[in-house]
Structure 1
Amino acid sequence: MATKSVSPRPVSRLYLATPVVSDPSSLSASLPGLLAGNDVAAVLVRLAPADPRTLISRIKALAPAIQDAGAALLLDTHAELVERGGADGAHLTGIEALEQALPSLKPDRIAGVGGLKTRHDSMTAGEAGADYVLFGEPDASGQRPSPEAISERLQWWDELFEPPCIGFACSREEAYAFAAAGADFVLVGDFIWADPRGAVAALMDVEQSIRQAHAAMHGKARAQQG
């Protein structure tokens, strides 16, 4: 696994998780406007349980709205449906799931991974060939590390390793903190869709917060150099 070269840090980009999708029609209609106004690098499509044919139909219904906007479409699990659905990759949970999915995804598609409980797990994922590592998502029981612990893990990874790191943010404040800690991407989801102002306003708000974090860190770095 390559260690990170030092270069000026770009602004963290957004990684948007969808609601759990059973009927893609309303989401596919709203996504173009949502993605057009924000710097969303990728969309994580979360599918409600169904038979493979139905799942593939849902993926194909969402793909144009996502991919035509220049964002990558990743499936939450379901690596076996990536090629058939025309997705760009999959997000896996845990080292075992990653290793099982890599042969079907590499070299042409994205294999991201979360569920990394320790630093050793994170390094193992990077060495196995993960295209990114995600820190801070809730586990099966809904528990997650503190924002401070997530920021510490992001900063550690960012300083040492080449593959991108992603912070799972549950609020605008966490998005700011994770961008400041060195996250290459910030994953946002449920709190965006639940915002009473609407998802467009919520996502714009988060992107502004990320840019504020970048500006603050850039100013701090310049002050230290001076």
Structure 2
Amino acid sequence: MSKIENRCRLVLVAPDIPDIAEQARVLADALKGGDVASVIVPQYGLNETDFQKHAEALVPVIQEAGAAALIDGDTRVAGRARADGIHIPGGADALSEAIERHTPKMIVGGGNATDRHHALEIGELRPDYVFFGRTDGDIKPEAHPKNLALAEWWASMIEIPCVVMGGADPQSALAVAETGAEFVALRLAVFADPAQAPSVVAAVNALLDEKAPRFED
């Protein structure tokens, strides 16, 4: 594990599974597949009460696997579920408020940076990470070219880590790594067939071990 910090690492976006026990089981299995830096838990249209129940079931599973649990959007749910952090999908205003209220106790990142101007605006807030793409943006096999271009520009000049949403094909992780991004987020690439999730996580880690560029210390 010691070498893993110097290359792009995997972030999982929890799958949309309405049954809490099944969602927790599928996620726990996936996390057995290898290194995962963090897991973002989206709300997926659940009301706050149900989202709370899902979060409370998933956060311990994520933390026991050694990953950081990030709740998407709802700071109250994040606090009550004892998550490690909050993923803010909105723009600079929402992120600014969350950073003011919750750092350094919690990880706060996100953004929805759709262009360089918005990315820099978000960067000025000093979040823990900037996210390029949307957590449900994996509608094509490959990562969105615009997000790859933004990540390459960002990674070359700004120290705040960036997370790039990959595509529905696990191989898309390599294109993200090649931009210099610190993290690649995958959802459907890992969870489209839940039974395959652990082996996909293992395969992506092997791919990144073999081919991802290394960061300088």
TM-score bracket relative to the smaller structure: 0.7 to 0.9
Tell me: CA distance 1:132–1:57, structure 2 relative to 1, closer, same or farther (3 Å).
same
Out of 170, 188, 198, the residue aligned to residue 190 of structure 1 is: 188
1:160 matched to 2:157: yes
CA deviation after TM superposition for structure 1 residue 187, in Å: 0.2
Partner amino acid for 1:90?
I
Once the two structures are TM-superposed, the CA of residue 173 in structure 1 deviates from its matched residue by: 3.0
2:171 is matched with 173
Matches within 5 A, 1:202-213: 202-213=200-211
Provide TM-score, normalisation by structure 2.
Answer: 0.84
Task: Indicate which of 53, 57, 60 corresponds to 1:61.
Answer: 57
Q: Report the Cα distance in structure 2 between the residues aligned to 1:198 and 1:146, rounded to whole angstroms.
A: 21
Cα RMSD over matched residues?
2.6
Note closer, same or farther for the CA distance 1:173–1:37 as it changes in structure 2 (3 Å cut).
closer
Counterpart for residue 112 of structure 2: 115
Looking at structure 2, the residues matched to 108 and 86 of structure 1 have their Cα atoms a distance apart, in angstroms, of 11
**AA of the residue aligned to 1:64:** P
Cα distance in 2 for partners of 1:212, 1:193 equals 23
* Preserved CA contact (<8 Å) 1:114 1:137: no
Quote how far apart the aligned CAs of 1:13 are.
Answer: 0.8
Where 1:207 maps in the other structure, the secondary structure is helix
1:149: which partner in 2? 146
> What amino acid sits opposite 2:118 in the alignment?
D
- Alpha-carbon distance, 1:101 to partner: 2.0
> What is the 5 A alignment of 1:44-123?
44-93=40-89, 94-123=91-120
Taking structure 1 as the reference length, what is the TM-score of the superposition?
0.81
Q: How many residues align?
A: 207
**What is the aligned partner in structure 2 of residue 39 from structure 1?**
35
Q: Answer whether contact 1:133 1:164 (CA < 8 A) is retained.
A: yes
What displacement does 1:196 show? 7.5
Deviation, 1:146, is: 6.7
Cα separation, 2, equivalents of 1:146 and 1:42: 19
Alpha-carbon separation, structure 2, partners of 1:134 and 1:49: 21
Which residues of structure 1 form unaligned runs of 5+?
1-8, 222-226
Which segments of 5 or more consecutive residues in structure 2 lack a partner in the other structure? none
